[in-house]
Chain A
Amino acid sequence: MADKYLELIGITTRFGDVEALQGVSLSVARGEVVCLIGPSGCGKSTLLRAANWLTPPNEGTVRLDGSVVGHAPQGRATAAQIRALNGHRARIGMVFQQFNVWPHLTALENVVRAQMVVLRRDKSEAEAKARQALADVGLSDKMDAWPERLSGGQKQRLAIARTLAMDPVLMLMDEPTSALDPELVAEVLAVLQRLAEIQMTMLIVTHELGFAMRVADRIVFMEAGGIVEQGPPQELLSNPRTDRLKAFLDKLSLTTLPKDREHAEI
């Protein structure tokens, strides 16, 4: 890829004695959709969470459009660095496995709140934006609903709307459908597919290989804290070059694409 919009350079993350990521580098071009796949514990979520510095790595640099999001190791962050990081975070949307919508606010307020606080939009502008974002994910009729009353798929779409309203330049998705009941997966994938169609730059950790095949420009296969193989979906999945990817795909097809539910109950 010639255009390096998001750059992750030499990311090493340790959890105690465990090296979850071992100097991983990955870049994503503007408008590109990259899916990260791999067995549980391979470090794909950790890599994703390094991209907006939510799980700061022990070593490595993250740049977005040439400007530094985070650099490690570093001493105590200065006020200017914290401000810069939050500026980046406001433009990097993140969607979580567990949705993390705010239960104390209605759907509309969930989408309005960060716009007003972080982007300093006035109420009417933020609400207009929120209505549009909620309509984009098919939740126009749920504006005033409490998250408690929404299904898992609706909560995840609400979470997506919340980040979309911030006009993100990049979306990070951490297993967006893993905590969903099977019949609710499709409605969320449909929203993600539409985002891919409008050229949203996305980095997606997923277990949905069928979905990855459809929307990804590139699939990155990770194992044991490193990138093993990457390439266009068709090529990678039909002709895996490494035995490890072959073994991973075999295991998946044997069990007819099992959903990873290990983290779902946390």
Chain B
Amino acid sequence: MKFDISYTIDALPRLLEGALVTLQVTLVGFVLSLSLATALTVMREANNVRWAHRALAVYISFIRGTPLLVQIFLIYYVSPVIGLDIGPYTAGILAITLNSAAFVVEILRGGLASVPSGQFEAASALGLKGPALWGKVILPQTFIASVPPLVNEFTQVLKASALLSTITIVELMRVSQQIFSRNYHPVEVLLGTFILYFLMCFAVSRSAALIEAKLELRRG
């Protein structure tokens, strides 16, 4: 079979639609993951409840110690068994969120460690406490310090979202499979898919460099 670029070009409009779904799923999953991980980070720091620390450690090691694909299948197939009718999109985003959060928690732990204890002291001495102390002083500095690994995690999530094709979510990978299973030109179609994934990740890491430069002065 000869390589024919026109199959790539013909596939592009549908691939782009798939890429849009990939971006949506990634964005929603990452925002949820970041929120969950932030909540867990603050809880871990603010509460010295031992069982909570243990539970978090167990959660992190389970997530990191098993394949994401298994986690996706598990949530997709288990949810109806336990009476949750959530459909593939919700299940997929839930799996990505729970998976990514375990990594983001560790990223934020590192970012938080870089905030000097004097920052807590100065805020406390001014009368800030609880949500204000965290929201106005500590978390902004934690996020600023965590930008590079967070951007990296975002691209990880974006790439991992291809696994959602296995539970019938019509994102970029799934669209690509659908096209080449009909036209029997996997090489041409996958080339387009490959390029679109790369462009998305490339754009993300480039914009990260811009964010980095903007935040440079705020690191102190």
Chain A residues near B (Cβ < 8 Å):
52, 54, 82, 86-87, 89-90, 92-94, 96, 98, 100-105, 113-114, 117-118, 146-149, 159, 162-163, 166, 172
CB distance from B95 to the nearest CB of A (A): 33
Closest to A89 in B: B127
State in angstroms the CA–CA spacing of A149 and B121 once bound together: 22
A86 to B125: give the CA distance in the assembly, Å: 8
Cα distance A113–B141 when bound, in Å?
Answer: 15
Task: Assess whether B122 is in contact with A159, with CB atoms less than 8 Å apart.
Answer: yes
How many B residues, CB 8 Å from partner?
22
Measuring CB to CB, which residues of chain B are less than 8 angstroms from any residue of chain A?
116, 118-119, 121-129, 132, 136-137, 140-141, 144, 217-220
Q: Are B124 and A54 in contact (CB under 8 A)?
A: yes
Tell me whether A89 and B136 are in contact (CB under 8 A): no
Chain A min CB distance to B205 (Å): 23
Q: How far is the CA of A94 from the CA of B124 in the complex (A)?
A: 10
Closest to A114 in B: B126
Choose from A90, A96, A98, A103 the contact partner of B218 (Cβ within 8 Å). Answer: A103
**When A96-B122, A104-B140 are in contact, do A87 and B219 touch as well, CB less than 8 Å?**
no
- Beta-carbon contact of B220 and A113 below 8 Å: no
Taken together as a complex, chains A and B put the C-alpha atoms of A176 and B213 apart, in Å, by 32
Minimum CB–CB distance for B38 against chain A, Å? 16
Docked pose: A113 CA to B135 CA in angstroms: 11
Asked whether, in the complex, the Cβ of B125 is within 8 Å of the Cβ of A117, the reply is no
Q: A96-B121, A96-B122 are in contact. Are A103 and B219 (CB under 8 A)?
A: yes
The verdict on A90 contacting B122 (CB below 8 Å), with A118-B132, A146-B217, A149-B217 known, is no
Tell which of B126, B137, B217 touches A148, judged by Cβ atoms closer than 8 Å: B217
A52 and B125 contact, Cβ closer than 8 Å, known pairs A103-B218, A104-B220: yes
Which residues does chain B contribute within 8 Å of A92, judged by CB atoms?
Answer: 125
Q: Could you say which of A82, A98, A103, A166 contacts B126, with CB atoms under 8 Å apart? A: A166
Residues of B within 8 A of A117 (CB): 128, 132, 136
Give the residue name and chain of the B residue nearest to A147 (CB).
B220
Task: Decide if A102 touches B119 in the complex (CB within 8 Å).
Answer: yes
Residues in B with CB closer than 8 Å to A89 are 124-127
How far apart are the CA atoms of A10 and B201 in the complex, in Å? 62
Chain A nearest CB from B67 CB (Å) reads 38
The answer to whether A118 and B127 touch across the interface, beta carbons within 8 angstroms, is yes
Return the contact of B144 from the options A94, A104, A166, A172 (Cβ within 8 A): A104
Q: Which residue in B118, B124, B126, B218 is a CB contact (below 8 Å) of A104? A: B218
Query: Which of B125, B132, B144 gathers the greatest number of chain A CB atoms within 10 Å?
Result: B125
Task: List the B side residues contacting A162 at CB < 8 Å.
Answer: 126
Please report the C-alpha to C-alpha distance between residue A159 and residue B116 in the assembled complex, in whole angstroms.
16
In the complex, what residues of B have CB within 8 A of residue A93's CB?
125
A54–B121 alpha-carbon span in the complex (Å): 7
Query: In the complex, what residues of B have CB within 8 A of residue A104's CB?
Result: 140-141, 144, 218, 220
Contacts of B118 in A (CB 8 A): 96, 98, 100
